[in-house]
Structure 1
């Protein structure tokens, strides 16, 4: 299990590379990365039967959120920024873990092209956020059940 910030750095590194490669890539925002973390956690629970990171996901007004990520990036719109060696190390640490790499790449492929607002609206229609009182922790069992039924294609 890695910390949530390692996954944030994975998405930052990926976004930075996309911004260099494609003209119309938008910088990663705090809101968007928190929704992507929610999907990483849910997919990991459904596919690997374990959390990808230990931090809780909260049901905030604008959708699922990780408080530690919010605190780090409070007031910042673009969180991609300059990529450091530590960011690259975090990226490679996740890429080198076959289970986590599969999860994070699947989430990026499925949801990475959506805007923060699109992801917010999407999560607002999903059971884990709907059934959790605002500002409370979204239960991992609720997430796992929902992701198994609605998100992950079981083969």
Structure 2
């Protein structure tokens, strides 16, 4: 099975994470605030549904099967200091090369385009009422990409990659069951 590559990705996982934090900041309704776990699952669901709808990746970052569910390592690294507390006052940064020279620095990534932002707002509306633990539990259900990888690996200490093809196929079957 040939996996879907990152080619054609619309944005970065860090930009998606930042977009969810911005969307939350503009939402005055009542819901569990975004903590590290909720952010990871929102980023995963956005990527999964984008793959299901378009067949292309939302971002080029790898989604890995960690013991507590699907995780994008760079997003985790950006926000790990918050632990179980709500994420406040911080944006994810990515390492970029400046002026094609030898130097690199961390910068806040460009926000996603309006089409992607509209899509992310829909993902937010569908999932904002859930806690990080509830979202994590949903990713552990039988037949979910994380659960399939867990079945194949057993222990997830190596944090194996969850293929884009697997994610797309699982979420496309969900779309087919809805329609």
Taking structure 2 as the reference length, the TM-score comes to: 0.72
Q: In the TM superposition, what is the alpha-carbon distance from 1:154 to its structure 2 partner?
A: 6.4
Q: Deviations over 1:36-85 (max 9, x none)?
A: 111111111111111011101111111110000111111212223267xx
Kindly tell me: are residues 152 and 15 of structure 1, through their superposed partners in 2, closer, same or farther at Cα, counting changes over 3 Å?
A: farther
More helix by percentage: 1
- What's 1:128 paired with? 145
Distance in 1, matches of 2:73 and 2:45, equals 16
| Unaligned ranges ≥5, structure 1 | none
- Go from structure 1 to structure 2 and tell me whether the alpha carbon gap of 1:154 and 1:48 turns closer, same or farther (over 3 Å shift): farther
Instruction: Report matched runs for 1:133-152 at 5 Å.
Output: 133=153, 134=156, 135-151=159-175
**TM-score (norm. length: structure 1):** 0.82
Shift of 1:152: 6.8
Give the number of the structure whose residues are more often strand, by fraction.
2
Query: Partners of 2:35 and 2:90 in 1: how far apart?
Result: 14
Q: What is the number of equivalent residue pairs in this alignment?
A: 145
Measured after TM superposition, the shift of residue 106 of structure 1 is 2.5
RMSD: 2.4
